[in-house]
Structure 1
Amino acid sequence: MPFVATLPTQEQKSAYLQNLFKEVYLKDLIERTNISKTYELESLLDILALNIGALANPSTIKKHLLVKA
């Protein structure tokens, strides 16, 4: 059973998964590719994650990034 499933509350599960994403996946990606604009990367990943299952084209992504800026 995955560790996150053993956590008692939804808040703890959410915090664990967010921390895992930031400390493992995002940090590794930034270090490997020497990305300096981490805010933009995080914004892009937020847009893509929120639109899972929907078509993501460059103009839609650009529009969302301009709104967040």
Structure 2
Amino acid sequence: MNTQFIGQYFTIPETAERARVSIATLHNLWVRGEGPARTRIGRRVFVTDEALRAWVERMTESTAAA
């Protein structure tokens, strides 16, 4: 069985740091359904590097269209 993870997983504080937003902002975005996709492993919540990149791309496209 292949147990190697694909991609990298970031904690909520790491995600906020990489996105250059506060943790509170991330939570507010998730409440509104606008934050990056999350992955739950047990009780911990992570954001993959792919999800963070896709979210940044979506946000870039939506600000460019406005």
- TM-score, normalised to structure 2, is 0.29
TM-score by length of 1: 0.29
Bigger relative contact order, structure 1 or 2, given CA contacts below 8 A and separation 6+?
2
- Larger of the two Rg values belongs to structure: 1
Higher helix share: 1
